[in-house]
Amino acid sequence: MTPQYVGRFAPTPSGPLHLGSLLTAVASWLDARAHHGSWLLRIDDLDTPRVEPEAEPAILATLESHGLAWDGPVHRQSHQLQRHHGAIRQLGERCFACGCTRRELRGLDRYPGTCRDRGLPRDGNALRVRAEAAAPAFVDRVQGDVNMSNRTLSDFIVQRRDGYASYPLAVVVDDLALGVNNVVRGADLLENTAEQLLLMRWLDVPPPTYAHVPVVVEASGVKLSKHNRATAIDNRWAPHNLATVLSLLGLEAPLDQVETMLAWAVGEWNIARVPRGTSLAGFSALAR
């Protein structure tokens, strides 16, 4: 018997949702509902310098006003610190302490192995994992065969200097803890997937299936992101926003109440209609 589909949306609370993050939320919600699966919400709040206190309530309000109901409580990465550290311990001798500063590594396209054999103390330093492996290939439900095997991964960080787990480590551990077996997320994370697949191999964790949906870029080609202050979603225009996002996902929905539009879209959902490719150009603002 195939296991029950468990999907999730995992925003970083660094700002309100914009068109691109709403598209990811809608795609993962539709895919979960079309598979009669559950859809969990996890707030990825470990990147403490980027977390903005007002972002989380704004994200929840946008999901609610667009009819994107989640199952169960809101989960938080910051509630899983023990699990993260347990996984880091499990990686054992693969990890080494690294004292390099960002500035020292600036301009390098890969970590040169500076601290690999220095035997630095773990306290007060970041921990990197000896990667030195080809990026694992995988089949993506939107992007098809993803083969980055010409890239040898460089030693990446699993624990930051401040003691928190790094993004790739935390996501692997948290998805496992939540039973997530289907990940639908933005194609800007494709490269991280290689690191996450390696971590799963080492931690003996079964990988989920992946679908990386294109990220929305401005006409200039710049990715919409919270970082560059992309226009926040205006919840008063929820049906219009939903129509815009659905159309980018290959579905021309008649304008109606959001619940009706979503119910229609679940019936019509076909991930093969989502444009392949890592970006969708041309939307600098929301349709009005």
- The contact set with ligand GLU (CB under 6 A) reads 10-12, 44, 171, 185, 189
Report, in angstroms and rounded to the nearest whole number, the Rg of the chain calculated over CA atoms. Answer: 19
Nearer to ligand GLU, 77 or 125 (CB): 77
Q: Which is nearer to ligand GLU, 111 or 167 (CB)?
A: 167
Nearer to ligand GLU, 125 or 196 (CB): 196
Residue 229 CB, shortest distance to ligand GLU, in Å, is: 16
User: Least distance from C-beta 90 to ligand GLU, angstroms?
Assistant: 20
Least separation in angstroms between residue 134's CB and ligand GLU is 22
* Comparison of 42 and 128: residue with beta carbon closer to ligand GLU: 42
Please state the closest distance from residue 255 (CB atom) to ligand GLU, in A. 29
